[in-house]
Amino acid sequence: MSNWEKNRLLLSTILTGVMFGSVVTAPSLAQDASQEAEEEEEEEAEEVDPDDTIVVTGSRIRRDSFTSTAPLQVIDSEEIRDAGLIDTAQILQQTTVAQGVQLDTTITSSFVTDGGPGANNISLRGLNPDQTLVLINGRRFAPAGVEGAPALPDVNLIPSSIIQRIDILLDGASSVYGSDAVAGVVNVILRDEFDGLQVDGFVSVPEESGGGSQRWNVMMGDSNERSNFVFAVEYFHQDELNVNDRDYNFDPNDGFYCNRDLELDADGNLLSECEGAIINRIRIFSAFQDGNLDFSLYDPVLFGRDVYYNGGEDRPLLVGTGFGLGSTFDERARSSYLEGEDDMIPESQRYSMFFTGERDLDPVFGIDGITAFAEASHSNSQTYVKNGYHGQIFASVPASNPFNPFGVDVVPIFASPVERLNTDVEVQQTRLIGGLRGDLAFANAPEWTYELFTGYTRSMGYSSRPAIDEARLRHTIYTSRDDGTGNIICGTDQDAELFGFLGPDECVPVNLFHPGLYPYDAQTSTGFGSVEEREYLEIERTITTKVDQKIAGGFVTGPVFQLPAGDLSAVVGVEWREDSLDSGVDTVAAQGRAAGFFADRLSRGSVSLWEVYGEVSIPVVSGQPLAEEITIDLAGRLTDHEFYGQNDTYSARASWSPTDYLTFRGTYGTSFRAPNTRELFLGGQTGFTSGFADPCVVPTAANVGGTYDPSQDNRDPQVLANCVAEGVDPTSLGLGGVPSIESFRAGNPNLEPETSTAFSYGLVFEQPFFDAFDATFGLTYFDIEVEDSIAIPGTAFSLAQCYNSPNFPNDPFCARRQRDPQTGFLAFVDNTPFNVAAQQASGLDLNGRFSYDVPESFFGGFNIDVNAVWTWSDEVLSQTTPQSNVNNFVGDWGNPEWRGTVNTRFTKGDWSVLWRARYLGEQASIFNDITPGSNQPYGQRIYAACELAGCVSNNDPSTPWLDYSSAITSADAVWYQDLSMTYSRDTWIFRAGVNNLFDEDPALTDQDASGDVQNTSNAVLGSGYDLLGRRFFLNVTKQF
């Protein structure tokens, strides 16, 4: 077969994928056309050259066409470029099957996630990202990341400019590809043939400031009769997008960290969460001196009262202090202005190199037909997470501290001058694959082929955070004193040396009452009184993570014997894999010296497995009445895991084409996923959650100027009763401020492996009645059930499960939290992974294609091609324990009931125009209640504070907590429109377009609304919404 024929075959496959939707979630069932009469008369069978066969995603059996019984979604490179997509994560996360909150840089840079800061992961069908297997050219793509124990592949390490196509397999595929293929398989096919030199540049510029991106690529290659190679380098840069770059998140008139349209109460007052955290104040405890109770010092006006720096002389002064009384709701005492500098999208850049090549070898030990192949890639990703507000510092300062002007114990509360919420992340990954392939002619089986391969991937991650040394801060606070001459000194008294054995310790007096720590305008960043003070307190918290993956394997494939309908083909293979992890922390992180961070632990471990597998493809019938083609594919795999022993998986797929224009197909398969290295070996990782996640804390809306307002408190009576039973007053806790809640997660060696079953069935119809146009319609129903799914609970989830439980405090989730008996606040929540009872996802994929060549009599003639794909989610279920309720997440954030993409292309000669419309259905924060008879379309809406226009009653006085307010907790459906034009001539390609043509804002929710939503200010993250707004792109390609 000639190179031209190979390219034509590849092109036909891509078009086949397009035929079932531009981004299709339906079977790739390209059917061979009926043979012409004169071809049917030919009786001489031609030998099949193994080099002319190909491998389709979903099977390892080599075939002579791109036919497949597996449900596939195919995305080709032209579609990607015309849509203005230049990073792999964005390409995948905009597909209709990317259900669930997607872990992109907006989330991984702000929250503790499995992939680590700056990572980009993909999850399918609303299941977990670790239940999706990612491949490059049919081979496993290794995990990468930093901090903790990253166990997910970072898809943005894949250079997007050399993607040839992406196949997304949407059934249980563990029997074919091994563990992790529960929700599906993403197979990224990179270019392996190119002659010449190509230079490519892509720039995207938003209409408003911030968030621009660019990509530059050079590719070269050559081929001859014995060898070929492709080498490419790519550079990508993403500009940061700050909160104050978009007015939907930040009010440019007064600097509030919110959308004012959402954050006003019924009287028009701005809500406290809009103003940010409390800072720029001193909290006075007038009855205490150096920790001792002294009633003679008690002042009922000042006890527990906050005072503020009086830079503008507009507050009543406390004599001799420089501070005065004021209001906690004064914006100068809040962090809102500083939070406007926080990143929504952090700045990042990537460098990537990729090489692939193969060469036919001279006879080896007398054996001909051996081809050596190799792949090598290296990617370096750098992410710079920046925040304007770096959290509170609230260290107790005794009355004896010489800088304390109040004469009693106080707690200064100010924004940290050290950028402890900024993170510099660097991840690099090197991947090497090599092997041999050929035929078994030396064994008298020339139609059989083999492949032997081995590979090694190393990922290195490094993160760095500035921090305040908590030990030194405590040391300077409690040892500062006047040396008798008016000089302030600190540290251990040198006179206390023990016979000269102990020398003087290093110490710098730090004034925590310096005006620079309490900026009067609340916009200026805070600062210590001297450079020496900052240098004494500032330290660096670093973590280095190494992730290795080794693979080796081989397989043989070919026809076993001839059946009337064709060859019965098979494949038999073996694979070995070892994953190892070594994530080390420096002494600062290990000892918990960084203020605001608890101690992290070393994560280290390795796991290996062996697998043997086999497949067989059986052509049952071909060319018969009502049976143009019937094919059955069977597969099985045995996995021998180091820790979990032997487990087997299997699958069966069948397709029936009663005619050449109608095909029915069905699949059934099982999958197996053992706990990954993170779930097994995470030594310990800390994170922080807002203290308002504590159900016993007074809600913001019910905290009116430090006074409890019961009319604004709609917590469930069960929650209130459980808080009281614990000895906590839910009507007063948090009225004076709330500290963050520490969360901790570690590996769990007692986890059970996940098992799952998946089935799908559907049809494809290609109209045969009219020659003037082509039209195709496809439909697929899917259902995936997972048992013993491994979950890492969030802090809010664990607390809600505990305090809503009638079995309090004996509910299993209640054992996961610790409450400080002195303050009453939650101090710790354990988020260690555990096995949940079950998960299930089901729904429909629908797709269609229409293609029509307009006659030349109409504007000179042109082609119209319309591709549409829709995914309807019926259920995304989760059950924590066999006794707990079943929760349906359809309609929740990241899981709209409907997703759709419609691509309309007009082509005339060298010109083409693409109109792309992307639909996201309604999403909301929900209770996830699927009680029969509910009239709520997505389950019962969550309740939130009555902030805007009062509550909506459920007309049941016995359950007033089920009233829900008009606070914004949901988002309407939205269409995003993209438009691009391409001109191709000779060796040049020019492409220009606009994304988000009508400048649609992302979903915006009330910051005080309950529910499991991740957001920055009011903007919802990771749920498919566009944060950037309207933007323009230009792409120029030149070949030499």
Query: Does residue 274 lie within any of the structural domains?
Result: yes
User: Is residue 105 a contact partner of residue 157, using CB atoms and an 8 Å limit?
Assistant: no
Three-state SS sequence of 415-474: ECCCCCCCEEEEEEEEEEEEEEEEEEHHHCEEEEEEEEEEEEEEEEEEEEEEEEEHHHHH
| Residues in the chain, overall count | 1040
More confident residue, 60 or 471: 471
Count how many domains the chain has: 2
Range of the domain at 403: 251-339+388-421+469-529
Quick: pLDDT tens for 462-520.
Answer: 999 999 998 899 999 998 888 888 889 888 765 545 455 555 568 999 999 998 998 87
Average pLDDT over residues 144-160: 89
**539: pLDDT confidence band, cut at 50, 70 and 90?**
very high
Q: Which of 360, 379, 86 is nearest to 232 (CA)?
A: 379
Strand partners, 511: none
Average pLDDT over residues 297-309: 70
Query: Does residue 352 lie within any of the structural domains?
Result: no
- Range among 75-84, 133-142, 164-173, 590-599 rated most confident: 133-142
pLDDT at residue 1017 is higher than 60: yes
Query: Does residue 627 lie within any of the structural domains?
Result: no
Quick: pLDDT tens for 937-980.
Answer: 333 334 333 333 334 444 444 444 344 444 567 788 999 999 99
Predicted pLDDT at 904: 94
Predicted pLDDT at 943: 39
User: Is residue 781 a contact partner of residue 762, using CB atoms and an 8 Å limit?
Assistant: yes
Question: Which H or E element spans position 307?
Answer: strand 305-309
Residues 6+ apart with CB under 8 A from 72: 17, 20, 24, 26, 27, 28, 56, 57, 58, 167, 168, 169, 170
Predicted pLDDT at 931: 36
Question: Other C-beta atoms within 10 Å of 88: how many?
Answer: 25
- Amino acid in position 940: Q
Report helix, strand or coil for 604: strand
Predicted pLDDT at 958: 44
Question: Which parts of 213-326 fold into alpha helices (H)?
Answer: 272-275
Q: Tell me the pairing of strands 184-190 and 132-136.
A: parallel
Q: Which of 588, 583, 584 is nearest to 598 (CA)?
A: 588
Where do the DSSP E strands lie in 767-890?
773-787, 790-791, 817-819, 826-830, 834-835, 838-854, 862-879, 886-888
Predicted pLDDT at 967: 55
Q: Which of 166, 167, 220 is nearest to 193 (CA)?
A: 220
Average pLDDT over residues 204-219: 95
**671: pLDDT confidence band, cut at 50, 70 and 90?**
very high
Report the percent of the chain where pLDDT is more than 90.
Answer: 39
**11: pLDDT confidence band, cut at 50, 70 and 90?**
very low
Tell me how far apart the alpha carbons of residues 1017 and 1001 are, in angstroms, rounded to a whole number: 14
Predicted pLDDT at 960: 40
More confident residue, 371 or 56: 371
Predicted pLDDT at 381: 94
Residue where one domain finishes, among candidates 514, 529, 544: 529
Query: Does residue 302 lie within any of the structural domains?
Result: yes
pLDDT at residue 441 is higher than 50: yes
Quick: pLDDT tens for 849-870.
Answer: 999 988 887 887 888 999 999 9
Residue where one domain finishes, among candidates 529, 561, 578: 529
Tokens read off for 997 = 């043509």
Predicted pLDDT at 879: 82
User: Is residue 219 a contact partner of residue 208, using CB atoms and an 8 Å limit?
Assistant: no
Query: Does residue 283 lie within any of the structural domains?
Result: yes
**872: pLDDT confidence band, cut at 50, 70 and 90?**
very high
pLDDT at residue 845 is higher than 80: yes
Residue 66: exposure state from Cβ atoms within 10 A (0-12, 13-18, ≥19)? buried
Tokens read off for 497 = 């040396």
Q: Which of 247, 26, 4 is nearest to 869 (CA)?
A: 26
Residue where one domain finishes, among candidates 968, 997, 1031: 968
- Range among 13-27, 398-412, 642-656 rated most confident: 642-656
More confident residue, 325 or 384: 384
User: Is residue 751 a contact partner of residue 834, using CB atoms and an 8 Å limit?
Assistant: yes
Predicted pLDDT at 68: 60
For the CA atoms of 534, 535, 537, 540, the dihedral, rounded to the nearest 10 degrees, stands at 120
Average pLDDT over residues 55-82: 71
Predicted pLDDT at 501: 52
Query: Does residue 681 lie within any of the structural domains?
Result: no
Q: Which of 180, 177, 65, 63 is nearest to 121 (CA)?
A: 180
Q: Which of 378, 373, 377 is nearest to 454 (CA)?
A: 373
Predicted pLDDT at 56: 59
Tokens 């507000």, located at residue? 389
- Amino acid in position 934: S
User: Is residue 888 a contact partner of residue 843, using CB atoms and an 8 Å limit?
Assistant: no
Tell me how far apart the alpha carbons of residues 410 and 498 are, in angstroms, rounded to a whole number: 34
pLDDT at residue 784 is higher than 90: yes
Report helix, strand or coil for 583: strand
Sign of the CA dihedral running 393, 706, 967, 209: negative
pLDDT at residue 17 is higher than 50: no
Average pLDDT over residues 299-328: 67
Query: Does residue 86 lie within any of the structural domains?
Result: no
Tell me how far apart the alpha carbons of residues 739 and 827 are, in angstroms, rounded to a whole number: 9
DSSP letter for each residue of 132-160? EEEEETTEEPPP---SS---S--GGGS-G
Residue 860: exposure state from Cβ atoms within 10 A (0-12, 13-18, ≥19)? exposed
User: What is the average pLDDT value for the chain, to the nearest integer?
Assistant: 81
Residues 6+ apart with CB under 8 A from 940: 926, 927, 929, 931, 934, 962
pLDDT at residue 289 is higher than 80: no
Average pLDDT over residues 211-219: 95
pLDDT at residue 195 is higher than 90: yes
Residues 6+ apart with CB under 8 A from 74: 13, 14, 16, 17, 18, 20, 24, 28, 165, 166, 167, 168
Query: Does residue 44 lie within any of the structural domains?
Result: no
Strand partners, 427: 381, 461
Quick: pLDDT tens for 716-746.
Answer: 888 899 999 999 999 988 887 777 788 888 8
Tell me how far apart the alpha carbons of residues 637 and 647 are, in angstroms, rounded to a whole number: 8
DSSP letter for each residue of 319-355? TTTSEE---TT-GGGBSHHHHTTSEEE-EEEEEEEEE
Tokens read off for 739 = 């500290």
Q: Tell me the pairing of strands 26-27 and 71-76.
A: antiparallel
Report helix, strand or coil for 726: coil
